[in-house]
Chains A and B, each alone.
Chain A
Amino acid sequence: MFSRDRWDEILEALNANKFRTFLTAFGVFWGITILVLLLALTNGLKNGVTAGFGNFATNSMFMWTQGTSKPYKGLPKGRYFSYKIDDIAAIKSEIPNLKYVSPRNQLGGYNGANNVTRGTKSGAFEIYGDYPEFINQQPLDILQGRFISYSDINAKRKICVIGTGVQKGLYDKDEDVLGTYIKVNGVNFLVVGTFKMSNSQGDGEQDASTIYMPFTTFGQAFNRGENVGWMAITAVDDVSITALKQQVFDLMKFRHKVDPTDDRAIGHFDLSEQFGRINGLFSILSLVGYFVGALVLMSGIIGISNIMLIVVKERTKEIGVRRALGASPWSIKSQILQESLILTILSGMVGISFAALVIWVMNTILDSVGPVDNFANPSVSMEVVFTALIILIVSGVLAGLIPANSATKMKPVDALRIE
C-alpha cells in the first residue's frame, strides 16, 4: 500500500501547500502534546505523593497492641498486653503467604530528649531494635560497613548501624565512623555501618537520624525482655496483606486471650490499603488525563478532517483529471486516507517528541531546585506512548474517511467541468 511512488505522491501533495499543512498538523501536534503532558504530570503527582510513603514495601502493615475493650475469660477490660518474641514464630508457621514478619522495638522519636552521646556531642535520635530482614521491607543504602546480621541477633552483640543524620550530629567531618562507640541511654554500642534512605523524599532527614541495632540486644539493654513493641508484616507479592491481616489478628487475639470480637485491642496501619486508595485515585486522574487529552486531540483530528475536506474540494478538478487518466476510485480514496494518516502520525510523533522535551526540561528544573512537595519525576511509560500512537493511527483514518469518500462521490465528468 505504501510504495515509494505513493510516498512521493503524498509528500508532493502535502508540500504543495506547506503553510496549510503546517497549520493542520499543529492541531494534532498540540492535542497529543497535551495528552502526553497531562499523563506525565499525573504521573509526577503520583510519584510525589507515593514518595511520602517512603519506599517501604507497600504490601505491608504495621501492628501494635492497644488496651482491650472487652472482658474475656475472666480477664478485665482495659487490660494492656504485649506481643512476645515467640508470636513471630507462631505467625510465620501458622499463616502462609507472609514474606517477612519483623518484630520491632523503639526508643526516642519525635521531640524526644537527647538520648545518644559520644564524647562531648549528643543528640536525640530514634533507636530501633530490628531483625536483619527489616532491610528488605525498608530498603536502605548501606554507605559503609554492614547492616545487622543473624549472628548479631544470636550473640546479642552491642553493635549499631547509624544514619547519615546521626553521623552529622555526633562526628566531625572526615572522622572515621566504623569501629567507634556511641552511648545510647548510657550503654555503649559499636558502630558497624552507616546508611542513608534509598532515594528518599520528604522525610529523608528524619529517617536518616535513626539508629538500628539487633532486636535481641535492644531487648536486653533496655529492659524489654521478650516484649515486642510492634511488628512490620509483609505479604508475598501476589497476595494482598489486606486479605491476610484478619488471620494475623485472630491468631494474636487467641494467643493473648483477647475476645475475638474485640477489634480495639489490636491497632494496625495497613500500608497496602492506603497505597491502594492512592493508586486508585491516580488511576482516575490518569483516566481524566486520557479523557481531556483525547478531547483536545479530537479537535485536532476534526481540524485535519476539515482541511482534508477543503483539500478534496480544491482538488476536485485534479481528482477528475486523475480519474480520466485511469485512477480507480480506490486509489484516490486510499491516497486521501494515507495523506491524512501521514499528516496525523507525523504531527503526532512531533507532538510526542515535543512533550518528551518538555518533560525532560521539567525534570532538569526539578533536579536543580531539589525535591518539591507532592511532585516528582513526571514521566510517561512506553505503554502510554504506544497508546498515543494507536490513538493517532485510528484518528488519522477516521479523519480521512469522510474526505476520502467525498473525493470519489462526484462523477469524473462533473469534476472535470469545475473551474
Chain B
Amino acid sequence: MIEIKDLHKSYHMGSNSLHVLKGINFNVKEGELVSIMGSSGSGKSTLLNILGMLDEADEGQYILDGVPIKNLNEKIAAKYRNEFLGFIFQSFNLINYKSALDNVSMPLYYKGVKRKERTEKAMHYLEKVGLAQWSHHLPSELSGGQKQRVAIARALASDPKVLLADEPTGALDTKTSYEVMELIQGINDEGKTILVVTHEDDIAHMTKRIVNLKDGLIIDDSPVEQIRASAHV
C-alpha cells in the first residue's frame, strides 16, 4: 500500500539547515496497523506530513497504492488527499461552527458527492462511531472522546485507502484513549490500513507493528503482539 525508498527531508532556516529525515525506507501492506514512535524531533511528524502529502520530500520515492507521489501541484495533491487519505489529528481539528454531521460530510463535499448521498454516508459513519444521536450537535457540545470519534468518522467518510493518525490520543485521558483505540482497532479489523504516530507505549502496543524513529532514521521496525483495547475498557 505504501512504499517509501530513501526519503530525505531537510528544513532551511536562514543559513541553518536541519536534516530531519535521513533516508527512510519502509513499506506498509494493506490492512496493517502501524505505529510510528520516537521522541520529539525524531522526524515522525515530518514523515507523517510527507505521507499525508501535506509536505513534500526533498529526495526519495513515495508510492501510494501504486501511484508515485511526486511533483504534485496543490490541486492534484488536494485530490489525492481527498481520495487516498483520511486524517486524524491530536487536537481533533473539527470546524467549530459546523455540526458533527456537517463535519463528517465535508470530505464528501470536496469529493463532489451530492447532498443527499453525502448526508446518508456521513450519518452511516457517525452511527459507526456510535454518535448518531449527536449528529446535530456542535463540536463545543461534545466531549474530547466524542470529538475524536467524529474526527475518525470524518476521516473514514470518503473511504480512503489509508488513515493517518497524528497522536490521536494525545489530548485524551487514558480511559477515553483506550475507547478511541478500540474504535481504531475495529476499523483496522475491517481491513483499513492505518498509521498512528504516538509517543505512548501502551497505545503503540495496541497496534500490530511498531516503527521506531530516532534522529531521522528508523532504528527499529518490528511486529508486536496486539493488545486489544477492549481488554482495558
Q: Which residues of A contact B (CB under 8 A)?
A: 4-5, 12-13, 15-16, 317-318, 321-331, 408, 411-413, 416, 419
Contact = CB atoms under 8 A, between A and B. Distances in A.
Given A324-B54, A327-B110, A413-B54, A318 B95 contact: yes
A86 B39 CA distance: 114
A326 B81 contact: yes
B110 A317 contact: no
Interface in B73-114: 74-75, 78-79, 81-83, 87, 89, 91, 93, 95-98, 102, 106-107, 109-111
B74 A328 contact: yes
Given A324-B87, A329-B78, 20 more contacts: A5-B115, A16-B97, A318-B95, A321-B93, A322-B95, A323-B81, A324-B52, A325-B81, A325-B106, A325-B107, A326-B78, A326-B81, A326-B82, A326-B110, A326-B111, A326-B158, A328-B78, A328-B110, A413-B54, A416-B89
9 contacts: A5-B109, A15-B97, A324-B54, A324-B87, A325-B82, A326-B111, A328-B79, A411-B54, A419-B91
A331 B97 contact: no
B223 to A, nearest CB: 29
Centre residue among B49, B75, B109, B158 by max chain A CB count within 10 A: B109
B82 A12 contact: no
Looking at chain A's contact residues, is the secondary structure mostly helix, strand, loop, or mixed?
helix
Centre residue among B49, B79, B83 by max chain A CB count within 10 A: B49
Contact of A416 (B78, B93, B98): B93
Centre residue among A12, A329, A331, A413 by max chain B CB count within 10 A: A413
Nearest to A12: B97
B147 interface: no
B54 A322 contact: no
A413 B55 contact: yes
Contacts of A16: 96-97
Contacts of A329: 74-75, 78
Contact of A326 (B49, B83, B96, B102): B83
Contacts of A408: 74
A330 B78 CA distance: 10
A416 B45 CA distance: 12
Interface string B111-142: 10001000000000000000000000000000
Nearest to B93: A321
Q: How large is the interface on B (under 10, 10 to 19, 20 to 34, 35 or more residues)?
A: 20 to 34
B93 A317 contact: yes
A328 B106 contact: no
Nearest to B110: A326
B224 to A, nearest CB: 29
A413 B74 contact: no
Interface string B44-61: 000001001011000000
Nearest to B157: A325
B8 interface: no
A375 to B, nearest CB: 49
B11 to A, nearest CB: 11
A247 B107 CA distance: 80
Centre residue among A16, A317, A322, A330 by max chain B CB count within 10 A: A322
Contacts of A325: 81-82, 87, 106-107, 110, 154, 158
B95 A321 contact: yes
List 4 A-B pairs, minimum CB-CB distance, nearest first. A326-B82, A16-B97, A413-B54, A326-B110
A416 B110 contact: no
B183 to A, nearest CB: 19
B130 to A, nearest CB: 22
Nearest to A329: B74
Contacts of A15: 97
Nearest to B106: A325
A5 B109 CA distance: 8
Given A413-B49, A413-B55, A416-B54, A324 B81 contact: yes
A26 B82 CA distance: 38
Interface string B148-167: 00000010001000000000
A249 B158 CA distance: 88
Contacts of B49: 413
B115 A323 contact: no
A314 to B, nearest CB: 11
Nearest to A327: B110
A188 B84 CA distance: 105
B78 A12 contact: no
A40 to B, nearest CB: 39
A378 B106 CA distance: 51
A5 to B, nearest CB: 6
A1 B147 CA distance: 32
A326 B79 contact: yes
Centre residue among A5, A13, A15, A325 by max chain B CB count within 10 A: A325
Contacts of A4: 115
